[in-house]
């Protein structure tokens, strides 16, 4: 897989991850602020019982960095 294809796949996965969190927060009646989304993803990443693909894990980390200004 070429570098551009990897970047595109990562970007698509990042969008999927953020979209899923935003929709779940909406369903719970919470306002999806960027720092809250980052916190939800940090908490999820800390749970090592959940099996994720390497791409999903990397996407989650990159989203946290982008939203939290890390």
Contact 17, 59 (CB under 8 A): yes
Predicted pLDDT of residue 57: 93
Q: Which pLDDT tens digit goes with each residue over 14-64?
A: 999 999 999 998 899 988 888 899 999 999 999 989 999 999 999 999 999
Determine the pLDDT at residue 1. 55
Q: Say how many domains are in the chain.
A: 1
pLDDT band (50, 70, 90) for residue 69: confident
Domain of 17 in residue numbering reads as 1-69
Residues 6+ apart with CB under 8 A from 10: 55, 58, 59, 62
């Amino acid at each position: 897989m070429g570098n551009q294809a990897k970047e595109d796949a990562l970007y698509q996965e990042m969008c999927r991850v953020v979209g899923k969190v935003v929709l779940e927060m909406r369903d719970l009646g919470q306002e999806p602020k960027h720092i809250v989304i980052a916190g939800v993803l940090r908490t999820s990443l800390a749970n090592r019982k959940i099996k994720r693909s390497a791409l999903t894990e990397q996407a989650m980390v990159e989203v946290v960095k982008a939203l939290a200004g890390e």
